[in-house]
Amino acid sequence: MAASVLKKVVIEKINEVAAVLMQKGTLIAPVKEEAGANFREIKDPKDIYLDYYNSILSPKMVFFPQMEDFVKYQLAKPKADAKIVEMNLKPAFLFGVRPCDVKSFEILDKHFYASGIIDTYWKARRDNTTIIGYAFDLDKPVDSADFYNTLGIGAADPEGSDIFIVKKDKELLLKGITKKGEALLGELSMLEKADAKDEKYFTDYVKKGKEKKTRFMKVDDKAVAKKYEDIFENNEYWTKMSDACLSCGVCTFVCPTCYCFDICDETIFGKGTRRRIWDACMFTDFTLETSGHNPRTKVSQRLRQKVCHKYSFSVRKYDVISCVGCGRCTRSCPVNIDIYSMVEEATKL
Amino acid sequence: MTNFKQIEENLKKEAKKLLEAGSVAVVLAYTKGADEKHPQPFAAKKADDVANIIFNEYCNHNLARYIVRYAPGTKIAVAVKAADSRAVVVLIQEEKIKRENLILLGIPVSGMKNQKTGEIIDEKTTGGLTNPVVYDVLLGEEIHTGKPVSPYTVLEQYEKMDKDARFAFWKAQFDKCIRCYACRKACPMCYCDPCFIDQTKPRWADKSPQSHGNLMYHLTRFQHLAGRCIDCGECTRACPVDIPLYLFHKKVAKDCEEMFKQAAGMKIEDKLVMVDFRVEDSDKILE
Ligand code: SF4
Ligand code: SF4
Ligand code: SF4
Ligand code: SF4
């Protein structure tokens, strides 16, 4: 394989890069909001906020939006009049994704299409999007909630991105990782060619990113999956873990690997939409059956579902722990419940 | 300044005494989460658990929220700051719990901080109060220094806005809502099961996070909290997208107080303003 392309650009010129990407399609990048950064469609290149740590909501919302309309219909009209909502599929550029979140896309791919059952909405958006990953700033402290090192992810892992960016002083180094990424780099004429020093900087940065800086424990996928099977009925553990849990939806809504959704018909003044919206196993009515029976009435049962799904069921089904250690659930939990501590405590049992 | 370490020691001592004597089944207090700066509500059930109890300036969570989770009749000790104690009062008034089943470990405190920003949040979280309004044991000295602050001062700038500007402000805020329902789940007064927003027959509002449904959810919740919200600020603190819900709750509380001459959760003997009628009550609400 030919050595892949490395280009560079001074940070101020990122506006120019953005302008070109916006012409080619939709550009999605972190913007600063009241509570912190989030990935949003960029309308003005000045809104791009590169000095962020990580977003509050995970970038999964780009491929799996909280609300996805399927069909529009009208009450009392024939079924044939109902219209399928077309996806507005322009090429998309997802800019500035952290390595742990890039990894989450790969995990959700297993669920949304590699398993054989294809979610056309997820797949279409994935195929249409160029992922531009962005290494964590190795000179800045890591957030105390993060533990992506535990899941084998480095702070500057380029795998999974089409283009990967590393910051070097006042410049950004951009490397083409896939063919798609390289082709795009070639089309961005404002980029300069990087020299051998830059090449070395990039390689060293990726290597340095592998050093363990986040919280770390040794986790063996199979062993932890088995452990959770063994303690599935350990009520003492689950009660203790969930005594403080509010059973809200924050941890799952911010999580890059949670994918549960509900499909509902919402009608106003006779005009309706069949759509899917995010759902959460932590919600009281998540497992409520039509009969009125709810097999999970306790908070401990719901929290058990959440943790076991990620650390046990997913390993059994897809051969991967469906958690990337991004720390979002811990950071956003109103009562500071920490999944890392939960797993740590389980492994000691 | 509040001596947090002293309160922590006293809290541990009382909790130990109660659990060893078997006078309560559980002591609701705090423990550390990932670290001490990120504390977690904690249910101590054995004398051994007591060693894990902590109390510091980040222990904001309203512990009254957890009482209704235990079967009626369970003997429970609860660590109560001013706001927590007011929530307990409302729960007693609403007959969700009985006073005789509770042992209230009162915590007088000022200088509580927001875990994310480090900002002191007394006025936002305690309705301007520093001492619990009811307790059995006091874990520190009552605080009587400093000027009493009005919990409603923060409203001034919003009350000055005209109707359209105010609506635009709230619409923009509610448009941020992702309907995670952390606000209602963190609220000690939101114990309905099922909550109106989870009902399907009829469905009161769309579940999708759009303007109209968000507005319906929040306005209904604000109404349901009228005369009951004790201004602990937990809903706001729980919100992942920083919607300033406390402003709306405070406004409703202020109106209630002006109309019915009573703040929520101050005295067990009081009747809730929304279930009581007095001839001298204001009719402003009907205008
Ligand atoms: S773990 Fe935290 S964020 Fe998740 S449901 Fe429980 S209280 Fe909510
Ligand atoms: S479970 Fe928590 S740490 Fe793991 S991927 Fe989800 S939000 Fe990130
Ligand atoms: S509405 Fe908010 S401030 Fe009022 S009691 Fe509930 S959580 Fe506390
Ligand atoms: S906590 Fe915030 S985002 Fe969640 S439902 Fe309440 S207002 Fe909306």
Strands A271-278 and A261-268: antiparallel
Banded model confidence at residue A75, pLDDT cuts 50, 70, 90? very high
CA distance B41 to chain A (A): 5
Residues 6+ apart with CB under 8 A from A72: A82, A83, A85, A271, A272, A273
Ligand 4 binding pocket includes B241 (Cβ within 6 Å) = yes
Quick one: three-class SS letters along A102-162? HHHHHHHHHHHHHCCCCCHHHHHHHHHEEEEEECCCCCCCCCCCCCHHHHCCCCCCCCCCC
Query: Does A280 sit within 8 Å of B38, measured CB to CB?
Result: no
CA distance A332 to chain B (A): 6
CA dihedral (A326, A106, A158, A5) positive or negative: negative
Question: Which residue among B34, B193, B212 places its CB closest to the CB of A330?
Answer: B34
Task: Determine the average pLDDT of the residues in A56-68.
Answer: 97
Ligand 2 binding pocket includes A98 (Cβ within 6 Å) = no
- DSSP structural state of residue A236: H
Query: Any alpha helices (H) in chain A, and if so which ranges?
Result: 14-24, 60-63, 99-109, 120-128, 179-187, 196-208, 221-230, 235-242, 250-254, 299-308, 314-318, 328-332, 339-348
Ligand nearest to the CA of B187: 3
pLDDT on residue B280: 85
Is A219 within 8 Å of A343 (Cβ atoms)? yes
pLDDT on residue A2: 47
The pLDDT tens digits of the residues spanning A114-160 come to 888 999 999 999 999 999 999 999 999 999 999 999 999 999 999 99
Banded model confidence at residue B1, pLDDT cuts 50, 70, 90? confident
> Is the predicted pLDDT of residue A1 greater than 60, yes or no?
no
- Chain B residue closest to A236 (CA)? B45
End-to-end Cα distance, chain B: 46
> Is the predicted pLDDT of residue B126 greater than 70, yes or no?
no
Banded model confidence at residue B286, pLDDT cuts 50, 70, 90? confident
Task: Determine the average pLDDT of the residues in A14-30.
Answer: 97
> Is the predicted pLDDT of residue B147 greater than 80, yes or no?
no
B104: β partners: B78
> Is the predicted pLDDT of residue A62 greater than 50, yes or no?
yes
Place of tokens 């063996």: A220
Task: Looking at the CA of residue A246, tell me the nearest atom of ligand 1.
Answer: 7
The pLDDT tens digits of the residues spanning A261-313 come to 999 999 988 999 999 999 999 999 999 998 989 999 999 999 999 999 999 99
Tell me what percent of the residues of chain B surpass a pLDDT of 70.
99
Tell me what percent of the residues of chain A surpass a pLDDT of 70.
99
Angle, CA A65 vertex, CA A64 and CA A66 arms, to 5°: 120
Is B233 within 8 Å of B125 (Cβ atoms)? yes
From A57, A143, A252, A329, mutation site for ligand 2 pocket: most ligand atoms within 8 A of C-beta: A329
Question: Which residue among A275, A280, A285 places its CB closest to the CB of B198?
Answer: A285
Banded model confidence at residue B231, pLDDT cuts 50, 70, 90? very high
Banded model confidence at residue B124, pLDDT cuts 50, 70, 90? low
Query: Does B178 sit within 8 Å of A57, measured CB to CB?
Result: yes
Q: Whose CA is nearest to atom 1 of ligand 2?
A: A323
From B175, B178, B196, B222, mutation site for ligand 4 pocket: most ligand atoms within 8 A of C-beta: B178
Phi, psi of A338, deg, nearest 5: -125, 115
Average pLDDT taken over every residue of chain A: 96
From A106, A257, A312, mutation site for ligand 2 pocket: most ligand atoms within 8 A of C-beta: A257
pLDDT on residue A339: 98
The pLDDT tens digits of the residues spanning B44-79 come to 999 999 999 999 999 999 999 999 999 999 999 999
pLDDT on residue B202: 85
Task: Looking at the CA of residue A252, tell me the nearest atom of ligand 1.
Answer: 4
Q: Whose CA is nearest to atom 6 of ligand 2?
A: A255
CA distance B233 to chain A (A): 12
Closest CA to B129 of B62, B59, B82, B63: B82
* Chain A residues in contact with B210 (beta carbon < 8 A): 67
Query: Does A266 sit within 8 Å of B207, measured CB to CB?
Result: yes
The pLDDT tens digits of the residues spanning A196-215 come to 999 999 999 999 999 999 99
* Chain B residues in contact with A34 (beta carbon < 8 A): 176, 241-242
Angle in degrees, 0-180, between the axes of helices B211-224 and B163-175, rounded to the nearest 10:
110
Ligand nearest to the CA of A105: 2
CA distance A336 to chain B (A): 6
Q: How many contacts (CB atoms, under 8 Å) link A and B?
A: 109
The pLDDT tens digits of the residues spanning B5-51 come to 999 999 999 999 999 999 999 999 999 998 999 999 999 999 999 99
CA dihedral (B72, B74, B75, B79) positive or negative: negative
d(CA B1, CA A341): 33
Banded model confidence at residue B127, pLDDT cuts 50, 70, 90? confident
